[in-house]
């Protein structure tokens, strides 16, 4: 059987980490693409030279985005091209630069890898994945944004620490846009199936402590930006995107919160926002319409409004999107 091909567009901190995981797990051959050709080629060569040590026949190559032909026929494209935040910046401050990057990347994918499953990571995520889909013209179910898996993983880790249990036994849900308005859903978060509100009743934690965790989750990315001082998180974002890629490549049909194109679900039309979806061989195979209570719906609507503003800003910046 032919090996799968994974194109990583953007070979920076997340792109390099994605390449490392994809090579170690032998998910397929990896093509790293970047504006900085040397970075892409250097990371690919470094990982090739690591492969005899970790014992995987991973083929990695690097290229410049001046010529997108190396991504031809890719099964999965993961997009991290663009600029990350600096301390004091919000994700929204990146719109202008990263929108131009999405245009170039979308056109490159449309021309050379139109059958790929595309995962966008570039921020501000919900607006960038929407724009990338528009620029590429690919089917909506083949283009998704990675944010909810990461936000939920942060929430899971904080909850596991608070309860003193394994991260493996904590499930958690974060919906909405990938920004400070995201909606961590405590009611749908559990330890081995026991919902967090029940755990509070059982004396495992207090509402005040859980509220603090919810807030820390919302600001999880900013906390890391501040600590790093130069760039943003990369290990957890890369792991999250790889989990999504694996669900597609192996037709696992995992249920993940991701930025998906909505056509009326949760009261949202023609926008990308974080919701639970099923990822399988067809891409986004299902949008899981869980019921929200009035407080949750209100928080979700508020988050959707923030994404709407960003999409409107994109339309203003590039008239082909209007
Ligand atoms: N085409 C291809 N690559 C590009 C382009 C472009 N038009 N513009 C910039 N790049 C490359 C940069 O050269 C850099 O190597 O994208 C890479 C981005 O890598 P980093 O700066 O290390 O950023 P990273 O931490 O990987 O984050 C990438 O993901 O989480 C988001 O907010 C984050 O938008 C940012 C993106």
The CATH code of the domain that includes 36 is 3.40.50.720
Cβ-Cβ contacts under 8 Å for 223 (sequence gap 6 or more):
216
Reported as a pLDDT band with limits 50, 70 and 90, residue 129 is very high
**According to the annotation, is 11 in a ligand binding site?**
yes
**321, part of any domain:** no
**52, part of any domain:** yes
Check residue 2 and give its pLDDT: 85
Q: Whose CA is nearest to atom 34 of ligand 1?
A: 122
Reported pTM: 0.97
Q: Report the candidate in 240, 262, 243 with the shortest Cα–Cα distance to residue 253.
A: 243
Helix (H, G, I), strand (E, B) or coil at 162: helix
Looking at residues 103-127, what average pLDDT do you find? 97
Reported as a pLDDT band with limits 50, 70 and 90, residue 77 is very high
Q: Give the number of other CB atoms < 10 A from CB of residue 320.
A: 8
**320, part of any domain:** no
237 lines ligand 1 (CB under 6 A): yes
Check residue 93 and give its pLDDT: 87
Looking at residues 94-122, what average pLDDT do you find? 97
- Residues 275, 192 share a domain: yes
Q: What is the Å distance from ligand 1's center to 217 Cα?
A: 23
Check residue 303 and give its pLDDT: 95
- Residues 70, 208 share a domain: no
Q: Where are the beta strands (DSSP E) in the chain?
A: 5-9, 29-34, 60-64, 76-79, 117-120, 143-145, 170-175, 183-191, 194-195, 254-263, 269-280, 283-287
Looking at residues 290-302, what average pLDDT do you find? 94
268-299 burial, b at 16+ Cβ within 10 Å, e below that, comes to beebbbbbbbbbbeebbeebeeeebeeebeeb
The domain of 68 spans 5-146
Checking if the pLDDT of 244 tops 90, the result is: yes
Check residue 216 and give its pLDDT: 96
- Residues 199, 103 share a domain: no
Q: What is the Å distance from ligand 1's center to 27 Cα?
A: 22
Q: How many domains, the chain?
A: 2
234 lines ligand 1 (CB under 6 A): yes
> Among residues 146, 168, 203, which one ends one of the domains?
146
- Residues 283, 140 share a domain: no
Checking if the pLDDT of 47 tops 90, the result is: yes
Reported as a pLDDT band with limits 50, 70 and 90, residue 169 is very high
Active site residues: 178
Dump pLDDT digits (tens) for 258-277.
999 999 999 999 999 999 99
Q: What is the Å distance from ligand 1's center to 166 Cα?
A: 33
Gap between the Cα atoms of 245 and 59, Å rounded: 18
Checking if the pLDDT of 84 tops 90, the result is: no
- Residues 137, 37 share a domain: yes
Looking at residues 132-151, what average pLDDT do you find? 98
- Residues 162, 135 share a domain: no
Check residue 212 and give its pLDDT: 97
For all residues of the chain together, what is the average pLDDT? Answer: 96
Checking if the pLDDT of 235 tops 90, the result is: yes
Check residue 124 and give its pLDDT: 94
> Among residues 97, 120, 146, which one ends one of the domains?
146
Check residue 88 and give its pLDDT: 84
39 lines ligand 1 (CB under 6 A): yes
- Residues 93, 142 share a domain: yes
Dump pLDDT digits (tens) for 215-227.
999 999 999 999 9
**According to the annotation, is 193 in a ligand binding site?**
no
- Residues 115, 178 share a domain: no
240 lines ligand 1 (CB under 6 A): no
Checking if the pLDDT of 306 tops 90, the result is: yes
Check residue 58 and give its pLDDT: 83
Name the percent of the chain lying above pLDDT 90.
Answer: 94
Q: Give the number of other CB atoms < 10 A from CB of residue 217.
A: 24
> Among residues 118, 146, 174, which one ends one of the domains?
146
């Amino acid at each position: 059987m032919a090996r799968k091909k994974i194109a990583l567009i953007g070979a920076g901190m997340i792109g390099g980490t994605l390449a490392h995981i994809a090579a170690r797990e032998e998910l397929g051959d990896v093509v790293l693409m970047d504006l900085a050709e040397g970075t892409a080629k250097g990371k690919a060569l470094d990982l090739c030279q690591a492969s005899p040590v970790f014992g995987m026949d991973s083929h990695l190559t690097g290229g410049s985005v001046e010529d997108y032909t190396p991504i031809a026929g890719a099964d999965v494209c993961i997009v991290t091209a663009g600029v990350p935040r600096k301390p004091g910046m919000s994700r929204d401050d990146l719109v202008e630069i990263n929108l131009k990057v999405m245009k170039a990347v979308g056109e490159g994918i449309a021309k050379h890898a139109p059958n790929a499953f595309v995962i966008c990571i570039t921020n501000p995520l919900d607006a960038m994945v929407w724009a990338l889909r528009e620029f590429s013209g690919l089917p909506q179910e083949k283009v998704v944004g990675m944010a909810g898996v990461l936000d939920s993983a942060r929430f899971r880790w904080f909850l596991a620490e608070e309860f003193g249990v394994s991260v493996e036994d904590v499930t958690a849900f974060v919906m909405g846009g990938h920004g400070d308005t995201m909606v961590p859903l405590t009611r749908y978060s559990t330890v081995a199936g026991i919902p967090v509100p029940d755990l509070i009743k059982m004396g495992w934690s207090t509402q005040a402590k859980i509220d603090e965790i919810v807030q820390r989750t919302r600001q999880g990315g900013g906390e890391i930006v501040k600590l790093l001082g130069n760039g943003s998180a990369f290990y957890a974002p890369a792991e999250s995107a790889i989990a999504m890629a694996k669900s597609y490549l192996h037709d696992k049909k995992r249920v993940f919160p991701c930025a998906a194109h909505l056509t009326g679900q949760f009261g949202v039309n023609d926008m990308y926002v974080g919701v639970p979806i099923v990822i399988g061989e067809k891409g986004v195979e299902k949008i899981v319409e869980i019921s929200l209570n009035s407080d949750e719906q209100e928080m979700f609507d508020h988050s959707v409004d923030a994404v709407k503003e960003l999409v409107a800003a994109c339309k203003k910046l590039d008239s082909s999107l209007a």
